[in-house]
Copies of this chain bind each other. A is one copy, B any other.
Amino acid sequence: MNRYEKMTEEELKADYQQTMARFEALKSQNLRLNMSRGKPGSDQLDLSDGLLKILTEPKDCYFEGEDARNYGMLDGVPDCRKLFSELLGVSESEILVGGNSSLSLMYDLISKAYTHGLLKSETPWGKLDKIKFLCPSPGYDRHFLVTESFGAELITIPMRDHGPDMDMIEEYVKDPLIKGVWCVPKYSNPEGIIFSDEVIARFADLKPAAPDFVIIWDNAYCVHEFEGDFVPFKNILEECRRAGNPDMVFEFASTSKITYPGAGVAVMASSEDNIAYMKKLIGVQIICYDKVNQLRHARFLKDKKGVLELMKKHAVILKPKFDMVFSCLDREIRELGIASWKKPKGGYFISLDTEPGCAKRALSLAKEAGVVMTEAGATFPYGKDPEDRNIRIAPTYPPVDELEKAMDVLCICLKLAAMEKAMNRKRH
């Protein structure tokens, strides 16, 4: 029982009126605050000023006798492949460097699975009556939407403390209609969970019935610690190779939250056979990605050491924001027992679980008071949270003082929603 459920009806009513008054007062301030998306703040973007200055003369555009400005080299600038190979711990021959969007590379993978099939497909997915996709949830709405838009049936897999429920996944993959699974394995979106070595090994050891089952390993936050040092992480390509499933995984990453979200560089890593197969398909789609921007990134970031140094600077900006969220929640919510959350040390989000049935109401109140959050339900397939309890907080974009105000509003809304639920219960 949470604090409100233990109150008498009168106590509850009094507290509700008082809290509602505070809510109305905040509302009258006509706030316009946004904690909806995982966007870096401008001060973070300013950390990569050097990117704009590193390549200003034609002569800067040459590498190994090639001219980055011209056509050619579909798999990307070698120095950029090298950089990502260091970051992900995979070999350079397992890498294709793309354009500014890893989401786009993932979409293309799924799209080609539908129209052409993957390396091990017996039939392109689009020629099958139906396919299904596993969606560990809460998860990333844009992932789920990709597979939804192609008509796949989305299956919710609960997240546990160290990654998705692997018992369920192992069971599901016995169905040949199950074609893949979405993962954000390090600092998962939104909970900030790091998949344990055991979970990773169980992924690699999967024995799916579908020969073209694919693990989409979106390592979006591979170097994104905002507290403490870089946390080493298993190389999923190697794990899958060890398990005899070398072609079962595609890993993705990007510099969207290292340099610029809109003008970074994305990467796809997989077995050499998968990369060769995808290059054949992608070669029909594009002559080459933007090699000038790849070269800028390789020269500006230099190597893993250079990236980790830059990430430390991001951490200096990000940690106070996460701390602000944690301290507001600790102060206002913890002892009420009306919500629970984890305290990740990296990534871009905090995931909050309210009492069942309270998330939508809390966020609709927040919206009334001018605080925009990721829509309730967004972290689940089809945008529907079966228990209506998960809220994703994206604290990176607003400055700390705005964030504090936004959290004030959110905490009050959480309380009001929980009180309304408790009052309703007492009434029935």
Give A292's nearest chain B residue, CB to CB: B263
Asked if B291 and A72 sit within 8 Å, CB to CB, the answer is no
Q: Is A286 located at the chain interface by the 8 A CB criterion?
A: yes
Which residue from B37, B49, B126 sits with its C-beta under 8 Å from A114?
B126
Q: Is A320 located at the chain interface by the 8 A CB criterion?
A: no
Q: Is A122 located at the chain interface by the 8 A CB criterion?
A: no
Of the listed stretches A99-107, A175-183, A298-306, A363-371, chain B binds A99-107
Query: With A103-B286, A111-B111 as given contacts, are A45 and B72 in contact (CB-CB < 8 Å)?
Result: no
What's the Cα separation between A146 and B262 when bound, in Å? Answer: 27
Asked if B286 and A70 sit within 8 Å, CB to CB, the answer is no
Q: Is A115 located at the chain interface by the 8 A CB criterion?
A: yes
Query: With A115-B126, A263-B292 as given contacts, are A103 and B145 in contact (CB-CB < 8 Å)?
Result: no
Give A67's nearest chain B residue, CB to CB: B42
Asked if B286 and A101 sit within 8 Å, CB to CB, the answer is yes
Q: How large, as a class, is the contact surface on chain A?
A: 35 or more
Asked if B45 and A58 sit within 8 Å, CB to CB, the answer is yes
Find chain B residues with CB under 8 A from A61 CB: 45, 52
Give A53's nearest chain B residue, CB to CB: B56
Asked if A101 and B287 sit within 8 Å, CB to CB, the answer is yes
What's the Cα separation between A146 and B115 when bound, in Å? Answer: 12
Find chain B residues with CB under 8 A from A52 CB: 55-58, 60-61
What's the Cα separation between A154 and B264 when bound, in Å? Answer: 38
Which residue from B39, B57, B103, B292 sits with its C-beta under 8 Å from A49?
B57
Q: Is A273 located at the chain interface by the 8 A CB criterion?
A: no
Give A149's nearest chain B residue, CB to CB: B284
Q: Is A260 located at the chain interface by the 8 A CB criterion?
A: yes
Asked if A70 and B260 sit within 8 Å, CB to CB, the answer is yes
Which residue from B39, B46, B99, B285 sits with its C-beta under 8 Å from A71?
B39
Find chain B residues with CB under 8 A from A289 CB: 100-101, 262
Given contacts A45-B69, A111-B111, A111-B115, 5 further A-B contacts (CB under 8 A): A71-B261, A107-B284, A263-B291, A263-B292, A263-B293
List 17 contacting pairs A-B, 8 Å CB cutoff, sorted by A. A42-B70, A52-B56, A52-B58, A53-B56, A56-B56, A69-B260, A69-B261, A71-B262, A100-B290, A103-B285, A104-B285, A111-B111, A111-B115, A114-B114, A115-B126, A149-B281, A290-B293
